[in-house]
Amino acid sequence: MKSAEIRWRDAVAPHPINGVGRPVRWPTDPEPGAGARIGRPSVMGQPSTDLVVERTVAAAGTYLADDFWLLAHDRPDGSSWLSSRTLNSGLAGALLAELVLAGLLDVQAGRLKLVSEEAPPDSLMHEVLADLRANPAERDVRTWLDYLAEQESGDASLRVAERLIRAGIVERRERRSLLRRAVRYAPLDARTGWPAVRLQSQAHRNAVAPVRDLMLVGLVGATELTRRVFAEHVSHPDTYVWWCVDRQLPGPLHLLVHEVSAAVGRAAATPL
């Protein structure tokens, strides 16, 4: 199978904040036989159903779940803004989205579908994909979000944190007292702040965001981090998130955002 050559077409997308159309460039389909299709923008407010294929690693050397983990832990002491359940639900969705972005997984009508036998580029992605392949009878998105969020071998937050440690982006620090043990993750370089800066800059400049960052915005909205991330950069943060997700995010990823939001709601309604 030859690699896809992405071609672009011009379009105009209305911005929800100022109502002014802005030029954007959307990828068109590659040549027949060139692999999975590239996601198109939504039409008349409906998300695209095309499968997205794009590079999964940004220039900073991080993956989607890494970026969401860093956004959630963007506090001076390295702790998370989110509850453990909400954080893990968001990260579980991000781990599945990484496979969608890599062209290995699709989401259709609330179910996961493996679409490629290629090996993923990362060990954690490989573990998630191996679990999916080992359980062909179970493809419900809700089930897999719950499973990845709270695995016995380590919840999603721990597994993503370990990947960040291996990449040299954070380090684990543990402090013990008589009554409890506190674990924090200290930043080792400037990459820890890059996801927030990148999203905020795109929102402030009304810039074209890649699909991966649109998904990151969707996870921000689904886990109720919207005002934490965007309040100082756009006048209507919730509208901006809606515009990114409902008007631009391709179908499979749009469905994942919806399922993550539902998982967060279930977690909030379930007693500890």
- Cα–Cα distance between 267 and 262 in angstroms, integer? 9
**Full-model pTM:** 0.80
Please report which helix (H) or strand (E) contains residue 112, including its range: strand 111-114
Q: What is the pLDDT of residue 7?
A: 36
Which band of pLDDT confidence, cut at 50, 70 and 90, is reported for residue 45?
very low
Residue-wise pLDDT for 184-239, tens only, equals 899 898 889 999 999 999 999 988 899 999 999 999 999 999 999 999 999 999 99
CB–CB of 104/132 below 8 Å? Answer: no
Q: What is the DSSP string of 114-176?
A: E---PPPSSHHHHHHHHHHHH-TT--BHHHHHHHHHT-TT--HHHHHHHHHHHTTSEEEEEEE
DSSP letter assigned to residue 38: P
Residue-wise pLDDT for 137-155, tens only, equals 999 999 999 999 987 667 9
Q: Lowest-pLDDT range, 54-63, 72-81, 237-246?
A: 54-63
| CATH number among 1.10.132.20, 3.30.460.10, 3.40.980.10, 1.10.3630.10, domain 59-269 | 1.10.3630.10
Residue-wise pLDDT for 232-258, tens only, equals 999 999 999 999 999 999 999 999 999
